[in-house]
Chains A and B, each alone.
Chain A
């Protein structure tokens, strides 16, 4: 039984970590090699990995998708190499107002910027690409580029300020919720249980000698 709970817990952690890895912004050092626009017909399988139509437009089954082709430097996650030097294709879509909350409306501007930054391997122009999402060839999904800026060389290290602040906030919020829950238990739940026990014991005392069964049963639910 304990093993089952362990498996459930590990699965929950994997799902949450995967979700955060998908949604939180990351930075790649890359060289833009070109841009293109392809018509895309989403399937039920990969639809959730794409945003909606540009924020001023109406959505339909099929639409054009802006892509930014790059050659990317090795990227890291917690100091571990995640992918070596490789080509990487980013999509460039408005996230709009709802999800994920990047509030990006300037896809066309970003595309224009990317076209301006195209360079060759002989005379490379390195840029940082801020993006979220995953590249998966079997599902045909691309990370969504949200911003791009020029850097001096390929060995720049970008400090993920947003993620640092986000995780600090998450830890504080978690601690605060625990405090609130403890206060709620101590001040509202426990007195109510005590009152219920007293009432129940009063009823039971006259009917049977088996006193306090309810309170003993409740006792098994309390944290020891």
Chain B
């Protein structure tokens, strides 16, 4: 029963971490794309700017970096398994 509680608490906590971390990385990526465009705009057209940012974000969505955020679910479980083993192994 305690194990179910642990799983539930971890799931909730790690979901909070996952959502905030992915929002942060997305925001940083978008800011970088905006700054890139604003530093040297190839054409003076707001629609082209929006398209440039949308294209950059599409690349980010399929990137490895975004997928690696899912590690926030994996790492705590691995750490708990390791600590449990080290504590109880004779």
Residues of A within 8 A of B (CB): 55, 96-98, 101-106, 109, 146-147, 179-180, 183-184, 187-188
CB distance from A196 to the nearest CB of B (A): 20
A103 to B83, CA, bound (A): 7
CB distance from B51 to the nearest CB of A (A): 20
- Tell me the nearest residue of chain B to A186, going by C-beta: B31
**Residues of B75-90 whose CB lies within 8 A of A:** 80, 83-84, 87-88, 90
Report chain B residues within 8 Å CB of A179.
24
> Does B71 interact with chain A (Cβ within 8 Å)?
no
A215 to B24, CA, bound (A): 27
A104 to B88, CA, bound (A): 6
- Total interface residues on B, CB under 8 Å, equals 18
Report chain B residues within 8 Å CB of A183.
24, 27-28, 31
A103-B84, A104-B88, A187-B31 known; A96 and B2 CB under 8 Å? yes
- The reply to whether A55 and B2 form a contact with Cβ atoms under 8 Å apart is yes
Known: A105-B84, A183-B24. 16 other contacts (CB 8 A): A96-B2, A97-B3, A97-B6, A98-B2, A98-B6, A103-B80, A103-B84, A103-B87, A104-B87, A105-B88, A106-B87, A147-B87, A179-B24, A180-B24, A183-B27, A183-B31
- Tell me the nearest residue of chain A to B20, going by C-beta: A180
- The reply to whether B80 and A101 form a contact with Cβ atoms under 8 Å apart is yes
Report chain A residues within 8 Å CB of B31.
183, 187
A184 to B28, CA, bound (A): 10
A98 to B90, CA, bound (A): 22
A109 to B89, CA, bound (A): 10
Residues of B within 8 A of A (CB): 2-3, 5-6, 9, 20-21, 24, 27-28, 30-31, 80, 83-84, 87-88, 90
CB distance from B68 to the nearest CB of A (A): 15
- Tell me the nearest residue of chain B to A104, going by C-beta: B87
- Tell me the nearest residue of chain A to B83, going by C-beta: A103
Report chain B residues within 8 Å CB of A104.
87-88
A104 to B84, CA, bound (A): 7
- The reply to whether A146 and B87 form a contact with Cβ atoms under 8 Å apart is yes
Report chain A residues within 8 Å CB of B27.
183-184, 187-188
- The reply to whether A102 and B90 form a contact with Cβ atoms under 8 Å apart is no
Report chain A residues within 8 Å CB of B88.
103-106, 109
- Tell me the nearest residue of chain A to B89, going by C-beta: A106
Choice from B6, B20, B28, B83 contacting A102 with Cβ under 8 Å: B83
Report chain B residues within 8 Å CB of A184.
24, 27
